[in-house]
Structure 1
Amino acid sequence: MDEKDRSYHEAPATPRAKPSTPFSHQPNPLATASLPSIILAQWIQPMVSLGARRVLEKEDVWPICSGDACEALEKRFRQVYEPNRRHWFNLSPLAVAYARTFQTELTFVLITCVLYVVALALQSYVAQAILQFLNEEENLFHISSGYWLMVMMTLSSLVAVCALNYVFFSASRIGANMRSLTMSLVFDKALKLSSAARQDYTTGEVLTLMSVDTERVFLLMIQGPWLFMGPLSFIISVVLIGILFDFYSALGGAVVLAVVMAISAKQGRRIADFQKKLLKVIDERVKVTSEALQGIRVMKFYAWEESLAQRVEKLRVKEVSLLRKFHMYQVVNTVMLFLTPSFVSGVTLGIYVLIHHTITVVEAFTLVAMVNICRTALNQLPQAVAGISKAKISYARLDAFLASAEIDTQPFFLPEGSTPTAKSPLLASTNDVYGSSIGHGRISIRNANFEWPTTSQTEVVVAATESEDTQSNINSGFKLEGINLEIERGSLVMIVGKVGSGKSSLLSALLGEMSRTSGVLEIGGRVAYVSQDTWIRNATLRDNILFEQDYDAERYEQILDASQLAMDLMALPNGDSTEIGERGINLSGGQKARVAIA
């Protein structure tokens, strides 16, 4: 090896210089950035420069702005969300709430869209003036210097580019906020679903809502500006052609575009129908696959692999067939709208020549420039139309999910002889009626009736994780009647009874899982519940106990003593640092219960 090669191989590694204070500990510059800084993307330049020198890491990213935080967004959203209100044109309550939540940001986006289209229209006028200047004719602006015309063209182009960049930066930011807010709403709702609602929404369907549907909400905001700029640019283009040339040429182009848009709208409805069917098939396939994976032991014991594989394959074939039709219509729609500006140009030029029998170079180029005002918007319109078709379905699915019944999280009083209704499920809060009668830590049930909502038997491939008596109660509309129970603070109460007598249902009633039809339920404080089926994370034993809370040595020892885990820790190889497998596979049944209690 020569000296040159040796020096190459022995060269020191490139130093990974980091800023003295990581970006993650600094405020986001976007929060205080000026409008020129946002338009020119100057505020993000420090991160781009750092990324040019080395690979970015987690601490190299600024925290999000306080106004973009999910907590702040949800606070704004809750003030305007009206899930039960009917809106004009059957608009989605969720979509209307989003529009009201982000109305200021959306207004700025629309104003910038208008600025972009006006800048494009100005370019057409300037292009005509330049051509007239080259032909030594009087131009529209009465400017005799070509340099000033070029300056006007440059400025109008710069304004158009900056406006378009700002539109999509703002739309992306709003869309990302909508997506994070939607995911938060779905997650929050999933934790509050009543027992009946949980029968309607499987884990796979909830995951689809959080992944597929939230992404479509985001993409609609990215593509949405074209839905506004497309028609606006077309109207301006037709008006300018009518003013500068003649009404009949403009009318011919407008008729062509109207016919194309009518066909496109019909295609869009078909695309939406296919999309709706496709989502149902995808939900079913995800559901079957999830059930197979959750019950893989049962599937292996009974040799059901082939049967389940055929079922999944059948659903996949149906999904592929719908995908093929969906994309075929979408491609036809895209190609048709992509060629529309050329059709409009040809028809407009043809009508003009047919009427006037001649056309000059200046007129021809100006006419094409006028048509090109709407070319970009019309080229992007197919994706926007497809996006709104998909988003419409997703909003309907999200509305249905968010409107699902929730568990009774507040104690209520229902007068004797009254029945709950949709408008008034419970007539008065016990905080008002019995607010002073219940002490902290006490539980009181007086003359209360509870019932499980009757649901139809659903097809089950593998056994669910719920206990048998609870599941059978749910399906049969089991009731608890005339319940009276007083539990004092600090007392230990055991419920004893035969299988199926309603022991688990009584606990579910205390949690608000069962529907209360009459009587009083009061709980003085918060409730901790450890079910018969323990839920354990794939983490260390200490992490399972702390559950993301800060470690407090004194309280930790108290919890170990109260849950009788001290002897178990001595038996485990690494004490509370022992890694617990998925579902606590390396723990006994009693150890699982004690960890869940801890």
Structure 2
Amino acid sequence: MAQPVMLSRLVLYFSTDLVSTTEAYLQALGMSLSSLLILIASHFCYFGYWITGMRLRTACSGLIFRKALRLSNLALGETTIGQLVNILSNDVNRFDLAFRLLHYLWIAPLQLTIVVALAWREIGVSCLAGTSILIFMAPLQIYIGKLASKFRSKTALLSDARIRIMNEVISGIRVIKIYAWEHSFGKLVAESRAKEVRKILHSAYLHAIIGALRFDGALLTTFITFIVYASLGNPVTPSKVFPVLALFYSARICLSNNFPFAIMHGSEGLVSIRRIQMFLLMDELQRHVNEPNTDVMDDIFLEEQTALLDEIKADDTLKNDKLDISEHPESAQTNRTNSVIESADNGELVDYLRTAVSEEEEPVETNPHANKLNTGTDVRAQIVVENMYGSWNKDTRNTVLQDVSFRIQPGELLAVIGPVGCGKSSLLAALLGEIPTVSGVNTLNGRVGYTAQQPWILSGSLRDNILFGSKYKQAKYQRIIKHCALTRDIELLPEGDLTLVGERGVTLSGGQRARVSLARALYSDVDVYLLDDPLSAVDPAVGRHLFEKCILHEMRDKAVIIVTHQLQFIDKADKILILQEGKVAGYGTYKELQEDGMDFASLLKKKSEDGDYDGEDKQDVNPERLDDKVSICSDDSDGVETPVGIVPEEMAAGTVEWMVYIRFLVAAAGVPFALVWVIVVVGAQALLSYADVWLAMWTNEEENDLVDRNITSQYYQDGTEYGNRSYYVRIYAILCGATTAASFLRAFLFYHVFVTASKALHNQMFDAIIRAPMQFFDTNSVGRILNRFAKDIGYMDDVLPSTFTEFLELSLGAIATVIVISIFNPFCLAFTLPIAVVFHFTRKYYLASSRDVKRLEGKARSPVFSHLSATLTGLSTVRAFKAQQRFTADFDGYLDGHTRAWFLFLSATRWFGIQLDFLCVLVITGVSLTCIFAADLLDLNSGIVGLSLIYAMSLMGEFQWAVRQSAELENQMTSVERVCQYIDIKPEAPLQTDHMPPPDWPQDGGITLQDVSLRYSDDGPLVLREINCAIRPTEKVGIVGRTGAGKSSLMTVLMRLAEPTGTIMIDGINTALIGLHDLRKKVSFIPQDPVLFSGTLRKNLDPFSGHSDSDIWRAFEEVELKPAIEELPDKLEAVLTEGGTNFSVGQRQLLCLARAILRKNKILIVDEATANVDIRTDRLIQATIRRRFKHCTVLTIAHRLNTIMDSDKVMVLDAGQLIEFDEPYVLLQKEDGIFSKMVQETGKAEAVKLLQIARKTSTTLKT
């Protein structure tokens, strides 16, 4: 505010003799020093604002992640991973922008007051006319800010929806490609994006209004002020105009730019705060399962221990000889306990037992009873459930578990069985506290190890997934690896157990993932194990080994609950719990349930088929032999022959290429429209500068007239008008009006262009991603891809338009300033040219590092999103293992990595700003001094001097901000660059070609492979080697082989998820010549892991609405889901949650089978669809496939040999080669054959049964 006063004195030097030359130099020096002080203070404050915003953003990010770890399942159903990614990528970033400008909410009114006071001093009451414009703008800007806040709220919700869809698309891309659903999901994403863009456009137009007002604010204020001033009869002279103009210019950035943007960003920040607040107020888990109900537990404990008294006293082992402590220290503890018990009466015993509960001593293993009487928590029942009712939403009327009761001691094994959807997994969820207990007792005592039904694998090494944060102990680790049958698998991995397994364990097979999950639970060495169907994903021999070595041996002293569909193992359990529709249908020992009339015969009918071992076959499995044959059949289709590991994220280096800018503009509106827009932009600035020059000319004319006539202001008050005033006013009014119109046109065109470009580039990126080959998704994490759709697109939507606008406005203004100053004072070129050279090298020096720092910051964001996504996917496992603290620490580490990069960027930006502002101080100094020095030489008038000095002062803030924004623009263009990188991904083969097959192709379903080989990369190993075979129409072919044999690769080439060499013919047509959709639409596929998408049931089965309701209901009827669907309120329009989690895994698999039925194709590929279902559902799926696809060609990747023994042929793969291919019975005649050895390794009894099935099938085929 002091600078306009100094300017007033300096202008008087050129028009009067009231100011001496010495004072003029002192005023010029004062302007320079004040500018230097402004430089120091402003940059110090701005750096503090940015750091404060960064700290708040980081704190909120950590808080959001910690909250996510505590969300209840009800809350998780109300939010999505995409929504959380959007909050972390966009909402918390509002704090960075808001804190940079928030202080202007109080500075702007204060500055306005000072401006009015100083302007009143110069021109009196006329200043109120101009300042009223600024005052009027304040409520207008507040209103616009509120509107922007509303649009921001709506935009955020739409962004959440789009990111949620994108998360599902990327996670389920394999299924989308196989089902040829690209167009359906493309339409869904395009519609979601279109809705989002409509709201973004509304916000953009509001930004355009504010930008235009900012551009025109000082001009309109000056115009109104001096029109009023002149109309009151006052002389419009430079000594009056330019000090006031300097005041308005000094207030322009604050009042017309920072203040409205502070309101807008503050309003948008409030929206983000409300969104974060809503998330933080979501329902949390209320109960910690490892904190038992003490009163209930004590009562149960005392009851149990009193009941044990007689048993212990009667035990012969406690009445035998006393042992020497030195020889048998463990028995000494038993005898010491026994002596207390024998000498105590009942009251003393109760007191003793209460003491035992509280002492928390280490348990000492002795005889079977010692485990139950040792001090510590193990003396209590480990799990007590009495009359428990559980509901996902705490609604007692809608319970998933009803009146469930059981009790488990340490060392007991409880098997939970029942049909699909009966509540088995829900029971484990209730024990973990994931499902609220609405009534009854649900107490779990001790630490928990948990294996989920769908194994959860982190993106890291295999060893890290097993250790799960525990300390590495080699002997223990090797023992567990051996017992989990992972030794051979680890030997086959490129880096052993240090091999990176990829996101979600993409490089591991399903069986490997299940065994890694089991090994993780074992290594944790906890008190309670909750195992959700851990044996379904492995073949019978491996399943038997895991059950004996892991569950019966390693967990022998623990409380274990195993949910299983493998009924051949339940007779080894201490207790069996049978669930039916959430209720207990039976509970007791195997013998007790038989005596109660439980018909195990029907339940166990499938027992022998699934690898039962009776009589002499009940011996232990030889682990050395098992390690050699691990996964002999299959683990699933996703073996390690897929591309290994997540590749490092691509990061460009150096300058952002001009082609990126061109692509951005072309994406917006094309070259012709861009040229029109450039003309409007330059024209608006030219009009503004010429209006200021015209004002200078007007004031100079009036001053000259005053000097010539030697008259006073009284002359004007008497009504006499200066001769050409009307002319100057008219032209000035026309220039102001044209400038205003051009600025509004420019602003609206600008924001429209940018939003259009963002929309176009988003759609292009999605089209490129949906068409990318599967190898891209196998080597890039979900979080990395989502980062581009969330953060980078968010930058293009919100930040980039404002940055580009400010850069163009300020840079054009700076150029106009230099031109105007140089035209009227050529001496300025003597210092502006050297300063320009210094500026060029300073900018070059800054950009050399800031670009890469910004790219590093963008790259550092991806792990934050990936970790959040992975954690939420496996949240139940994380909470079960009490690993929240470790995962929080990992998240904080990723967040700190991003913060470090961001801090480097802020520091570099602030350094650059200081350098530029210092150069501007030199410009101000040079302009003021040269004007004084060259006043007589150039015959400078006060109007031109005043305008030059005002421009020089405004240059300080505007020039450095323009240059910084140019650097910031290039930094932010890295988001466009990153989007373009994905747009340029090489796509798959065309979806359709000129070689279209007949509409009814394939009619028969015959498949021929000729010299088919496959590499996943040009320098990668062969995963398929010259496969030659012919599959006749309607043949049923089983595909077996060890892990990595090439089973999934064979499915991959059949579906053309990767392009092989050689030829694949289906009914005589080369599949390489037809479009991908023409192929994939004609082949049905049932995956092992069922994939469903949020949306209606109808859309999940028939996204193109190509089938009638009756067809869909018929498909449901064939998979026996019709009754369950009819019970839903909306039936076919019932909405599935993300991933279809409101259906059980078995029900999801049946829905996938219904999809296959609905497609009515002649070829079906089954990727072991019965791995995660109960026996009844297994039978249903197998029977449905045999009945419904009787006249189709069926290829089945086998987990269990019994599922493919009745096939027409069996294909045996090893190391990518086709080793055997014939009828099962024929292959079994080869004693040294691989398939024959596989059958023999299942055990004698099982081998005999498999041989009988093969013989029967062979006889049937011959007849």
TM above 0.5, one fold? yes
- Alignment match, 1:414: none
- The C-alpha deviation readout for 1:61-120, integer Å capped at 9, x for no partner, is xxxxxxxx979x99xxxxxxxxxxxxxx87365543333343223212210121022112
Tell me, yes or no, if the aligned pair for 1:193 and 1:405 is still in contact at 8 Å: yes
Deviates more, 1:369-378 or 1:347-356: 369-378
- Give the secondary structure class of the aligned counterpart of 2:1090: coil
| Alpha carbons 2:927, 2:949 under 8 Å: kept | no
Alignment of 1:377-456 (within 5 A): 378=959, 380-382=961-963, 384-409=965-990, 431=994, 440-441=1001-1002, 445-453=1008-1016
How much does 1:327 deviate? 1.5
In the TM superposition, what are the counterparts of 1:19-418 in structure 2 within 5 Å?
Answer: 91=657, 95-101=661-667, 102=669, 103-137=671-705, 144-218=723-797, 219-228=799-808, 230-245=810-825, 247-334=826-913, 337=916, 343-356=922-935, 360-368=941-949, 371=952, 378=959, 380-382=961-963, 384-409=965-990
543-552 or 526-535, which deviates more: 543-552
Q: In 1, Cα distance between the equivalents of 2:831 and 2:190?
A: 50
User: CA offsets, 1:497-521, max 9 Å, x none?
Assistant: 2454444332221222123123354
**Structure 2: tracts of 5 or more residues without a match:** 1-142, 155-188, 195-654, 708-721, 1065-1069, 1156-1263
Q: What is the identity, as a one-letter code, of the residue corresponding to 1:190?
A: I
Moved more, 551-560 or 181-190: 551-560
Per-residue Cα deviation, 1:12-70 (whole angstroms, up to 9, x for no partner) = xxxxxxxxxxxxxxxxxxxxxxxxxxxxxxxxxxxx99x99xx9999xxxxxxxxxx97
Query: Would you say the 8 A contact 2:1011–2:1026 is kept in 1?
Result: yes
**Which deviations, in whole Å up to 9, do the C-alpha atoms of 1:546-584 show, x marking residues without a partner?**
548499433433443455533543677885566655544
Q: 1:268 to 1:499 in 2, by over 3 A?
A: same
2:1151 maps to what in 1?
595
Per the normalisation by structure 1, the TM-score is 0.68
Shift of 1:126: 0.7
Distance 1:226 1:261, change over 3 A: farther
Count the aligned residue pairs: 480
CA distance in 2, matches of 1:310, 1:119: 57
Counterparts of 1:138 and 1:485, CA distance in 2: 106
Structure with greater Cα Rg? 2
Q: How far did 1:336 drift?
A: 5.2
Could you say if the C-alpha distance between residues 396 and 575 of structure 1 is closer, same or farther in structure 2, counting changes exceeding 3 Å? closer
**Residue identity opposite 2:823 in structure 1:** I
1:537 aligns with 2:1064: no
Q: Report what 1:506 is aligned to.
A: 1050
Amino acid at match of 1:478: V
Amino acid across the alignment from 2:1023:
F
- Provide closer, same or farther for how the CA distance between residues 541 and 226 of structure 1 changes in structure 2, counting only shifts above 3 A: closer
Supply the distance in 1 between the matched residues of 2:952 and 2:1087 (Cα, whole angstroms). 68
Q: Is the 8 A contact 2:824 2:944 kept in 1?
A: no
AA aligned to 2:686 is V
Contact kept? 1:451, 1:479, Cα under 8 Å = yes
Structure 1 183/540 Cα, relative in aligned 2: closer, same or farther at 3 Å?
Answer: same
Task: Pick which of 298-307 and 150-159 moved more.
Answer: 298-307
Residue 350 of structure 1: CA displacement?
0.9
Q: 1:515 aligns with which of 1035, 1051, 1059?
A: 1059
1:171 CA displacement: 1.7
| 1:244 aligned partner, one-letter code | F
Query: 2:1026: which partner in 1?
Result: 481
CA contact (8 A) 1:128 1:362 kept: yes
TM-score norm. by structure 2 comes to: 0.34
State the AA in 1 paired with 2:872: L
User: CA separation in 2, counterparts of 1:479 and 1:567?
Assistant: 44
SS in 1 for 2:1027: strand
Measured after TM superposition, the shift of residue 159 of structure 1 is 2.2
Q: For structure 1, which segment, 173-182 or 348-357, has the greater mean C-alpha deviation from structure 2 after superposition?
A: 348-357
- Distance (whole Å) between structure 1 residues aligned to residue 1137 and residue 986 of structure 2: 34
Counterpart amino acid of residue 779 in structure 2: D
Report the Cα offset of residue 180 of structure 1. 1.7
- With 123-132 and 546-555 compared, the bigger mean Cα shift is at 546-555
- After superposition, what is the alpha-carbon deviation per residue over 1:292-319, rounded to whole angstroms, capped at 9, x for unaligned? 2222333345444333322222222232
- Taking the aligned partners of 1:386 and 1:166, their CA distance within structure 2 comes to 26
What is the root-mean-square deviation in Å for CA atoms of aligned residues?
4.2
Distance in 2 separating the partners of 1:487 and 1:385: 66
Displacement of 1:199 in angstroms is 2.9
Give the Cα–Cα distance (whole angstroms) in 2 for the partners of residues 540 and 241 of structure 1.
Answer: 67
Q: In 2, Cα distance between the equivalents of 1:302 and 1:563?
A: 37
* Aligned mates of 1:374, 1:118 — CA distance in 2: 16
Worse-superposed segment, 508-517 or 235-244: 235-244
Q: Deviations over 1:125-167 (max 9, x none)?
A: 212211222213599xxx9411221222222223223222222
Per mean C-alpha deviation after superposition, the further-off stretch among 347-356 and 216-225 is 216-225
Structure 1 counterpart SS, 2:1016 = coil
Following TM superposition, by how much is the alpha carbon of 1:592 offset from its aligned partner in structure 2, in angstroms? 1.1
Cα distance change, pair 193–562 in 1 and its aligned pair in 2 (3 A): farther
Query: What aligned pairs does 1:576-595 form with structure 2 within 5 A after superposition?
Result: 576=1132, 580=1136, 582-595=1138-1151
3-state secondary structure, aligned to 1:497 = strand
Contact 2:685 2:813 survives alignment (8 Å): yes
Which of 188-197 and 216-225 deviates more?
216-225
Change (3 A) 1:124 1:577: closer
Contact 2:680 2:746 in 1 (8 A): yes
**Is contact 2:821-2:828 (8 Å) kept?**
yes
2-side partners of 1:479 and 1:334: how far apart? Answer: 59
1:566 aligns to what?
1122
Identity %: 11
Once the two structures are superposed, the pairs formed by residues 2-13 of structure 1 within 5 Å of their partners are none
CA contact (8 A) 2:1119 2:1150 kept: yes
Cα shift at 1:221: 4.2
Name the SS of the counterpart of 1:364 in structure 2. Answer: helix
Deviation of the 1:212 alpha carbon = 1.6
Deviation at 1:590, TM superposition (A): 3.6
Query: 1:436, CA displacement in angstroms?
Result: 6.8
User: Structure 1, unaligned stretches of length 5 or more?
Assistant: 1-47, 59-68, 75-88, 412-428, 457-474
